[in-house]
Amino acid sequence: MDYYIDTHTHLYDEMFHDDAEDAVHRAMDAGVTRMIFPDIDSSSRRAMLDLAAKFPGHIFTGLGLHPTSVDSRWRENLEEIEGLTDSGTIAIGETGMDCYWSRDFVKEQEDAFEWQVRLACRKGLPVIIHSREATELIFNALERCRSLHPRGVFHAFSGSIETFRRMERYGDWYVGIGGVVTFKKAGIAETVKDIPLERIVLETDSPYLTPVPHRGERNESSYIPLIAEKIALQKGTSVSEVAEITTANARKLFNI
Ligand code: NI
C-alpha cells in the first residue's frame, strides 16, 4: 500500500462538525496516515487542537494567523500565537497574503506575514504560505527575511514555472499541489510537469478545492490518492513513486 501525507487539511472545520473523526479514519484507510492542520485564527484553534490531540502521531498542527483573519488586532493575535509555539507546533501558518478576498488590511497582512516568517525562523520551523493575488508582496517580504533562511511551502500553488524558479532563490521551498491539478484547463496541471517531484508535497485543503470526480462536494483528506494519480499521469510516472517521494518531502520539511 502507498502511504501519503496530507500537508494541508482543515478537518476541524465546521463542515465536519458531525463526522470529523470518521473523516480522519477514512483518510487513514486510504493510506493518508499523517495529516497537517494549518491554523486559521483563535475562533477555530481550540477545535483544531482538540481533534489533533485525539490522533497523536497522525495529526500535526501549525499555528498562525490566516491572511483573511488579519485586522487591526493582528499584533496581539500573533503574540498569543508565539506563546503557544513550544507545545508541539510543527509549522507557522497558515500565513501569507490574500489580495483577492479583500484589500482592506493589505498593509497589516504584509506586516503580519513578515512577523510570522521571522517567528518561524527564530523557532526553526517551516512556514505555510497562502498567496492569492499577492506574489510580488510575498516575494518582497521573503527578500527582507532572506538572511534568516526561511523555508516552507507555497500552499495551493497555482503559479507559473517562472514563479516556482523565483521561489528557489529563497532556498528550501516546496509547492503544495491539491485538487485543482485535476480540474480541466487548470494551468497547474501543465506546470506540474516541469516542477521536480522532489519539490512537491500533496494537500487537499479540505473542505475546499475538491478533486475530480468529487468536485462540487465537500473535500476530505481521503481524496489525496486522486491528486497523486493525476500528478503521476502528468509526469509519466507511477502513483507509488509520487506517494513515496512526496511523503519523504513532507516528512523532511515538517520534521515528522
Ligand atoms: Ni488552508
Ligand 1: centre distance to CA 9 (Å): 7
Residue 228 CA to ligand 1 centre (angstroms): 19
Say what the pLDDT of residue 87 is.
85
Q: What is the pTM of this model?
A: 0.97
**193 Cα to the center of ligand 1, angstroms:** 24
Q: Which residue has the cell 484589500?
A: 103
- Tens of pLDDT along 190-219? 999 999 999 999 999 999 999 999 999 999
Give distance in angstroms: CA of 231 to centre of ligand 1: 20
Rounded distance from Cα 94 to ligand 1 centre (Å):
7
Taking each helix axis as running N to C, give the angle between helix 42-53 and helix 20-29, from 0 to 180 degrees, rounded to the nearest 10. 50
Q: What is the Å distance from ligand 1's center to 84 Cα? A: 20
Q: Is pLDDT of 103 > 90?
A: no
pLDDT at 23: 98
From CA 121, how far away is CA 54, in angstroms rounded? 29
SS3 breakdown of the chain: % helix, strand, coil, rounded to 5? Answer: 45, 15, 35
Which comes out higher in pLDDT, residue 185 or 66?
66
Average pLDDT, the chain: 96
Cα 33 to averaged position of ligand 1 atoms, centre (Å): 19
- Report pLDDT digits (tens) over 37-54: 999 999 999 999 999 999
- Indicate if the pLDDT at residue 102 is higher than 90: no
Please report, for the domain that includes residue 213, its CATH number: 3.20.20.140
Residue-by-residue DSSP string for 151-169: -EEEET----HHHHHHHHT
pLDDT above 90 (res 113): yes
pLDDT at residue 256, as a whole number? 97
Contacts of residue 88, defined as CB under 8 A and 6 or more positions apart, other chains included, come to: 60, 61
Instruction: Phi first, then psi: give them for residue 186, nearest 5 degrees.
Output: -75, 125
**pLDDT tens for each residue of 225-252:** 999 999 999 999 999 999 999 999 999 9
Number of domains, the chain: 1
CA of 2 to the centre of ligand 1 (A): 24
Q: Using 50, 70 and 90 to split pLDDT, how confident is the model at 170?
A: confident
Q: How far is the CA of 37 from the centre of ligand 1 (A)?
A: 8
Is residue 3 within 8 Å of residue 33, measured between CB atoms?
A: yes
pLDDT of residue 171: 80
Report, as an integer, the average pLDDT of 16-29.
Answer: 98
How close is the Cα of 10 to the center of ligand 1, in Å? 7
Q: How far is the CA of 16 from the centre of ligand 1 (A)?
A: 15
pLDDT at position 68, please? 96
Domain housing 192: 4-254
Helix axis angle for 239-254 and 224-235, nearest 10°, is 110
CB 152 within 8 A of CB 126: yes
> Is residue 124 predicted with pLDDT exceeding 90?
yes
Q: What's the CA-to-centroid distance between 205 and ligand 1, angstroms?
A: 5
- Alpha-carbon distance of 230 to 179, in angstroms, equals 9
